[in-house]
Amino acid sequence: MKFLFSFTLLLYATGAIFSSKTRLSYILSFLGSAGAFLTGCYALTRTQVLWRFPLLHNVYLTLSIDHLSGIFIIIAALSWIAIALYSIDYSRLYPKKRLSLGFNISVIGMLLILTAHDGITLLAGWEIMTIFAFLMMQGAGKHFERSYRFLAFSELSTVCLVIGFAALYSSTGSLSFDALHSSSYFVLILISLGFIIKMDIVPFHGWMRGIYGDIPDNTAALLSAPVTLMGVYGLERIIPLVPNNQIWNIIIILLGAFSAFWGGLQAAAANRIRVLPAYSTVENNGMILTSIGFYALAEGFGIGSLRYLATFALAASIILAISHTLSKTLLFMSVGHAKEAYNVHTIDEARGVWSGVGRIPALGIVISALSFSAFPPLIGYAGEWMILETLFQSYRFPSIATAFFTALAGILIALAIGLISFAMIKLIGYTALGFDHGRKSRPIPNRLMHTAEIGLESIIVLGGIGLPLIIILIGFPQLLTGLLGIASPLVLASGMPVFGVISPTFIGIIMLVLMILPMLLFIKNKKKVRKVESWNGGVKLEEGEFFSAPAYSQILKHILRGFYHTRETRSATQSSIKVEDILIHPSEMITRQIRKVGEKVAPVLMNGKISAYVAYILILFITVFIIGMIVK
User: What is the mean pLDDT of the segment spanning 188-210?
Assistant: 87
pLDDT in tens, 42-64: 999 888 888 888 877 777 888 99
pLDDT in tens, 157-180: 999 999 999 888 888 888 888 888
DSSP secondary structure string, 24-68? HHHHHHHHHHHHHHHHHHHHTT--EEEEEEEEETTEEEEEEE-HH
- Over 50: is that where the pLDDT of 603 sits? yes
pLDDT, position 537? 65
* DSSP category for residue 578: E
**H or E element, residue 577:** strand 575-578
pLDDT, position 631? 47
User: What is the mean pLDDT of the segment spanning 553-577?
Assistant: 81
- Over 80: is that where the pLDDT of 96 sits? no
DSSP secondary structure string, 474-516? TT-GGGEEEETTEEEEEEEE-SSS---EE-HHHHHHHHHHHHH
Report residue 203: phi and psi, to 5°: -100, 20
Q: How far is CA 603 from CA 29, 599, 600, in A?
A: 43, 7, 6
Mean pLDDT of the chain: 86
DSSP secondary structure string, 560-575? THHHHT-EEEE-SS-E
- Over 60: is that where the pLDDT of 628 sits? no
- Over 70: is that where the pLDDT of 474 sits? yes
Answer with the residue of higher pLDDT: 83 or 624: 83
Q: Which of 577, 560, 320, 270 is nearest to 430 (CA)?
A: 270
- Over 90: is that where the pLDDT of 391 sits? yes
pLDDT, position 128? 92
- Per-residue pLDDT band for 417 (boundaries 50, 70, 90) equals very high
Cα–Cα distance measured from residue 158 to residue 571, given in angstroms and rounded to the nearest whole number? 46
- Report percent pLDDT > 70 for the chain: 89
Lowest mean pLDDT among 205-214, 404-413, 469-478: 205-214
Q: How far is CA 127 from CA 124, 151, 311, in A?
A: 5, 10, 32
Answer with the residue of higher pLDDT: 223 or 612: 223
Answer whether the bond into residue 489 is a cis peptide, omega within 30°.
yes
pTM: 0.90
Lowest mean pLDDT among 144-153, 510-519, 557-566: 144-153
DSSP secondary structure string, 195-237? HHHHTT-TTTTGGGTTTTTTS-HHHHHHIIIIIHHHHHHHHHH
pLDDT in tens, 125-161: 999 999 888 888 875 455 566 677 888 888 889 999 9
